[in-house]
Structure 1
Amino acid sequence: MTVERELPSDEAHDLIDLVADIADKELAPRAAGFEEAETFPRELFTLLGEAGLLSLPFAEDIGGGGQPYSVYLQVLEEIAIRWAAVAVGVSVHTLSCHPVVAYGTPAQRRDLLPAMLGGETLGAYCLSEAHAGSDPSALRARATETPEGWRAAGSKSWITHGGWADYYTSFLRTGDDPRGGISCFHVDGRSPGLSAGAPERKMGLRSSATTTMHYDEVPIGADRLIGRPGQGLAIALTALDAGRLGIAAVAVGIAQSALDYAVRYACERETFGTRIVDHQGVGFLLADMAAATEAARATYLTAARRKDAGRDYRKQASIAKLVATDTAMSVTTQAVQVLGGAGYVRDHPVERHMREAKVTQIFEGTNQIQRLVISRHLARTAR
């Protein structure tokens, strides 16, 4: 089923067509096999980078694609419709680029961004720790200043692209102040003392490598501090607002894929001499799934357009993440129900979509955290 998209230009329409073509030819045929084998598709990120799809929301004068965020998110959704793990990887890579783009010095941008935005290097975003998933002010992994720069010690948990990334955007404690004592560093993946733990054995997104990263006195050059010392938490939180929109778009892509498959199945499967789509119980279920998916898409696009207009979008990003990911969980569960017993087996992709949807309610801030963010915004603006 083709999604009817509202796009701002002919260039954006052409971009979406290009993404759909690449995703149909290069991603969709590989997705099921790579997920089953838990194989990370590193070469596909190089392909997407060469096609200009890893730099879309960044300005053209620094090597980006110069696309509005509302267009970039619809690109992510198109990728997620075919392969959610790759779409999550693109979102995480974009997140890892943000600190250098927004806070890097001219020299850092010159030296680092061409490879980051061109797909030559793949990034990871290292914020979470085992004891500090939703509370980054409780970070313990530390960077200590040395005459040559810094030296990092500690561990980071739940790192997408762990063990595969060429660089790790790392948030490390450099002072004792809970919020003002965290700094951001660009850490080369080949650094001595940096190592990846065993891949997590996950419910879904199995082709996406997720590990704990260990920093054993890792040397970091003085020129790889991004922003000011102590500015790291502010950098992390500004990046997460945009990252939540990325996950919202991925979640809508998962829901759309499950919906499309359920509709096709319902139009082909017959019971009592009638297509099951013509039974009201199934037809109305599909209608609810379609309505929820379109509403979730509208929600993330509303937040993205506020971002593109330079307006505060923090509350809307949390709403979009909450709505879209809860929708993905609901729609994929209903898709399994439409297929009945067939939906519970791996012969059909909807069981995979259901497993993939679950984690979208957890990462980039759990949906309980999103409710906390939204309620605090409401309390601040009450009259």
Structure 2
Amino acid sequence: MASKCYRSSPVALGLAARSFSQTHVSQLNSLDTFTEEEQMLRESVARFAQEVIAPKVREMDENEHMDPTIIQALFEQGLMGIETSADHGGAESSFTSAIIAIEELAKVDPSVSVMCDVHNTLVNTVLRTYGTKEQQDKWLPLLAESKLGSFCLSEAASGSDAFALQTRAKKDGDDWVLNGTKMWITNSYEADIFLIFANVDPSKGYKGITCFIATKDMGIQIAKKEQKLGIRASSTCTLNFDDLRIPAENIIGGEGKGYKIAIEILNEGRIGIAAQMLGLAQGAFEKAVPYTLQRTQFGQPVGTFQGLAFQQARAAVEIEAARLLTYNAARRKEEGMPFTKEAAMAKLYASEVAQRVSGAAIEWAGGVGFTRETGIEKYWRDSKIGAIYEGTSNIQLQTIAKYLQKQYS
């Protein structure tokens, strides 16, 4: 298959990791200055996205189904274990490398991008950060090489109030037995490995929330696959757990530590969503602008009329601002600096820019932009989720406001 010609990419990712360890972020001249190896990664992922993913985008969107060969190709590319150590089958690269990959994939298909994003910045990161050595040795190689991961937190009554969980876990001998339902779970249709948050002691409130790792063949039931406005190839399902039996050794981070895990991981994951929205905006821009400079009306390209040219100039500024916010949050995270406020800013602004630019791109292309054939309208449909998942825009504003109040009070 076409994907096989990209098997050298994990080497490039490994080089990026070694170079990153030698080139400290503080030595870089600007937020969007990259090491040579990071730039190699960007070019490799961009080429892969155009040649392997792009031909399948419309079909996957129309069918609301992720092509299994795309998932396999992502593993072959080394893009499903970007930060995972080489000892565990990963590329042992940097967080910014993951952000670069997510951004480049989103320029072509945000559905593929978010699948890669959740797998890397949520599932892999939880295990790398909180898993025991035995858990890491068992699960990380599978997640790097062949098994898709899913992060199961949201429920019908716990969306923005993420920790009002109703899923319960009770100890039974050497096992825990889970009962409950999760909703809006990304990657869940294709995933084999699931991180599930459940409350082991409701009397303790959020301090009873615990993270478990489970596999689909343990008895996880897909109750419903959602039909969505956008990112339609990315699966979003309702999951049922009826006496789901999980070994006690599959608790991640210890009993009652799920709240801490989720809070910290979602802060990091918001940078990934910012990267997805950034790539989406750039993808829509790059599809629409050339068309406006090729189509003529009244004797000149429509893109040279001042009204349209100024719109595109403003859109370019907003994309660049979103890019710098996103890279700033990523670099701060890598440096071990506080990044919660910066991640919220990046996620909020990038999602707003994605909606504005993708909507404008449809208008720039006129009637052609309104058709599904060009793929421009798909970016607009895909953009809407950016203001909703991994914390709505109001949640991001609340986070930013709290930091401002603390700073200035």
TM range (shorter): over 0.9
Q: Which deviates more from structure 2 when the two are superposed, residues 42-51 or residues 166-175?
A: 42-51
CA RMSD of aligned residues (A): 1.5
Give CA deviations for 1:223-257 in whole Å, capped at 9, x if unaligned.
Answer: 11001100001101111111101110010111001
| Cα separation, partners in 2 of 1:10 and 1:251, compared to 1, 3 Å | same
CA distance in 2, matches of 1:249, 1:142: 34
Residue among 339, 343, 349 paired with 1:317: 343
CA distance in 2, matches of 1:202, 1:181: 33
CA distance in 1, matches of 2:48, 2:403: 40
What corresponds to 2:376 in structure 1? 350
Do 1:7 and 1:13's aligned partners in 2 also have CA atoms closer than 8 Å? no
Aligned residues: 378
Aligned amino acid, residue 50 of structure 1: E
What corresponds to 2:124 in structure 1? 97
TM-superposed deviation, 1:265: 1.0
TM-superposed deviation, 1:379: 1.3
Do 2:315 and 2:357's aligned partners in 1 also have CA atoms closer than 8 Å? yes
Are 1:184 and 2:184 an aligned pair?
no
Aligned amino acid, residue 209 of structure 2: I
CA distance in 2, matches of 1:42, 1:170: 24
| Cα separation, partners in 2 of 1:347 and 1:50, compared to 1, 3 Å | closer
Give CA deviations for 1:162-221 in whole Å, capped at 9, x if unaligned.
Answer: 2321011111111122220100000111112x2002211100111111110000110001
Do 2:221 and 2:239's aligned partners in 1 also have CA atoms closer than 8 Å? yes
Q: Residue 34 of structure 2: SS of its match in structure 1? A: coil
Provide TM-score, normalisation by structure 2.
0.90
CA distance in 1, matches of 2:252, 2:171: 14
| Cα separation, partners in 2 of 1:8 and 1:62, compared to 1, 3 Å | farther
What corresponds to 1:67 in structure 2? 93
Residue among 25, 47, 52 paired with 1:26: 52
Q: Which deviates more from structure 2 when the two are superposed, residues 264-273 or residues 334-343?
A: 334-343
| Cα separation, partners in 2 of 1:5 and 1:344, compared to 1, 3 Å | farther
Q: Any residues of structure 2 matched to 1:331-350 within 5 Å, and which?
A: 331-350=357-376
Identity %: 34
Q: Residue 293 of structure 2: SS of its match in structure 1? A: helix
Q: Any residues of structure 2 matched to 1:1-383 within 5 Å, and which?
A: 6-60=32-86, 62-94=88-120, 95-118=122-145, 120-176=146-202, 177-192=204-219, 194-383=220-409
Give CA deviations for 1:24-65 in whole Å, capped at 9, x if unaligned.
Answer: 111011111111111222332221112211111334454432
CA distance in 2, matches of 1:375, 1:201: 34
Q: Which structure shows the higher helix fraction? A: 2
Do 1:332 and 1:353's aligned partners in 2 also have CA atoms closer than 8 Å? yes
Aligned amino acid, residue 291 of structure 1: V
Do 1:163 and 1:195's aligned partners in 2 also have CA atoms closer than 8 Å? no
Aligned amino acid, residue 162 of structure 1: S
Aligned amino acid, residue 369 of structure 2: G
TM-superposed deviation, 1:7: 4.5
